[in-house]
């Protein structure tokens, strides 16, 4: 098994061939089973589920409000060393690692990074080195499930070292690993609901969607379960089907597999209007399949993560990619550091840090620089400063 990072974008994903498609705003005039929402004048006649979905998308398109956990003194953590074991081949993992290092350094704590690549044996080696060096805490920071390393988690607990994982569960659904302090994550179920809300609003509750799921990545299933549940609740007349593939064992990051799932799905279902994988990096591969099927003028894609190539596609407005749920990566990194600090000084952990997300579409990215991720600009809040000024004290 390899890391979730194999499913996340690398810089070279920007080389995917551009797909030509006239831009359609979420609230564009006219409607069809696959198309845009109704005009504002007709909004009063929308089915209740569609109106609710549209309101939820509108609300999530705004700046995520900061959730402030209880303040506490971090003084006792100063001078400690925390180990971060995580594959650094993905730019997203690099951002999480960098953010955690910055956060801990602000409180006088050193973060030592061990890059195991994608091999499980190297992950085990890194964890064992952390235990041998008497780390103040250990972070499994690249999406690997701690279930795979249950023996090492138990060893860390025996040595009195708190063990954390990252994005392998949700605040509600934690990995079942004895000795695990906490998995710090987005609420992937809520992310899936937002994707569904956009699909429902965009298709007036009559859409035909193909979901692409990777059951070997827990967050993929959590997310798309949220999608399916939301559609069943708000738009039972919509059509949703699912195709699955194992991302962690797929060659070439699953690019060819996902493209083929998209292409064959379109050919099998002439009314298919949406192809939605869990992650926007996988949506890039799906867009290749859309092009191969000659469906660039009718099939739309969406996903989660707000990687730079897809944010660029949104801004251009001439590709099938129409909506991205962006997670505030720097907020996630600081929420991780916050819990690590709490564990070190003996404070209760914050199981749900309420890490914010934001809906991005063609319309609300026009004033953004999308050539590199800039969380302060994209989400309009300096989340790190809120931790350092409102949450962490040095009394």
Show me where the domains of the chain are located. Answer: 13-64+189-327
Confidence of residue 194 (pLDDT cuts 50, 70, 90): very high
Contact at 8 Å (CB) between 209 and 242? no
Around Cβ 249, how many Cβ atoms within 10 Å?
A: 12
> Does the structure show a pLDDT above 80 at 7?
no
Residue with tokens 């006219």: 30
Residue with tokens 């959590």: 222
Give the whole-angstrom CA distance, residue 46 versus residue 201. Answer: 10
What's residue 9's pLDDT? 41
Query: Reduced to 3 states, what is the DSSP secondary structure of residue 309?
Result: helix
Which tokens is 88 given? Answer: 């650094």
What's residue 8's pLDDT? 39
Check residues 209 and 18 and name the one with the higher pLDDT: 209
> Does the structure show a pLDDT above 50 at 226?
yes
Check residues 337 and 41 and name the one with the higher pLDDT: 337
What's residue 44's pLDDT? 58
CATH 1.20.910.10 assigned to domain 13-64+189-327? The reply is: no
State pLDDT tens for residues 24-75. Answer: 233 333 333 333 443 344 455 889 999 999 999 999 999 999 999 999 999 9
CA distances from 150 to 105, 108, 330 (A): 29, 30, 28
In DSSP terms, 184 is beta-bridged to: 166
Give the whole-angstrom CA distance, residue 280 versus residue 305. Answer: 6
State pLDDT tens for residues 235-248. Answer: 999 999 999 999 88
What's residue 30's pLDDT? 33
Around Cβ 271, how many Cβ atoms within 10 Å?
A: 12
Average pLDDT score over the chain: 90
> Does the structure show a pLDDT above 50 at 118?
yes
Which tokens is 230 given? Answer: 């939301």
Lowest mean pLDDT among 2-11, 55-64, 102-111, 221-230: 2-11
Contact at 8 Å (CB) between 167 and 143? yes
What does residue 175 show for φ and ψ, rounded to 5 degrees?
Answer: -60, 140
Give the whole-angstrom CA distance, residue 61 versus residue 331. Answer: 17
pTM of the model: 0.86
> Does the structure show a pLDDT above 70 at 22?
no
């Amino acid at each position: 098994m390899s890391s979730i990072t194999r499913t996340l974008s690398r810089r070279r994903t920007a080389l995917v061939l551009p797909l030509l498609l006239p831009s359609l705003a979420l609230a564009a005039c006219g409607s069809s089973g696959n198309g845009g929402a109704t005009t504002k004048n007709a909004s009063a006649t929308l089915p209740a589920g569609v109106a609710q979905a549209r309101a939820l998308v509108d609300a999530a398109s705004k700046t995520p409000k900061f959730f402030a956990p209880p303040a506490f003194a971090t003084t006792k953590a100063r001078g400690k060393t925390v180990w971060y074991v995580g594959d650094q081949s993905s730019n997203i993992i690099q951002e999480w690692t960098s953010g955690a290092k910055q956060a801990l350094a602000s409180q006088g704590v050193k973060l030592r990074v061990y890059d195991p690549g994608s091999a499980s044996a190297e992950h085990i080696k890194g964890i064992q080195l952390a235990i041998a060096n008497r780390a103040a805490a250990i972070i499994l920071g690249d999406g690997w499930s701690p279930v795979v390393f249950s023996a090492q988690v138990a060893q860390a607990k025996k040595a009195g070292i708190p063990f954390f994982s990252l994005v392998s569960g949700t605040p509600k659904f934690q990995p079942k690993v004895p000795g695990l302090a906490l998995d710090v994550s987005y609420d992937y179920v809520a992310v899936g609901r937002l994707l569904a809300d956009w699909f429902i609003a965009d298709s007036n509750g009559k859409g035909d969607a193909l979901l692409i799921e990777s059951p070997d990545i827990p967050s993929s299933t959590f997310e798309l379960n949220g999608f399916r549940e939301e559609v069943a609740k708000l738009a039972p007349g919509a059509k949703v089907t699912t195709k699955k593939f194992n991302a962690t064992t797929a060659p070439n990051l699953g690019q060819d597999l996902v493209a083929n799932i998209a292409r064959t799905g379109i050919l099998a279902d002439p009314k298919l209007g949406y192809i939605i994988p869990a992650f926007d990096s996988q949506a890039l591969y799906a867009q290749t399949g859309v092009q191969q099927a000659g469906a660039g003028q009718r099939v739309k894609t969406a996903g989660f993560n707000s990687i730079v190539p897809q944010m660029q596609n949104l801004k251009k407005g001439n590709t099938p990619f129409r909506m991205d749920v962006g997670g505030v990566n720097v907020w996630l990194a600081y929420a991780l550091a916050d819990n690590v600090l709490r564990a070190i000084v003996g404070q209760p952990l914050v199981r749900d840090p309420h890490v914010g997300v934001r809906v991005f579409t063609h319309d609300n990215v026009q004033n953004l620089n999308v050539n590199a991720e800039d969380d302060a600009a994209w989400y309009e809040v300096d989340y790190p400063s809120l931790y350092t000024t409102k949450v962490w004290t040095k009394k």
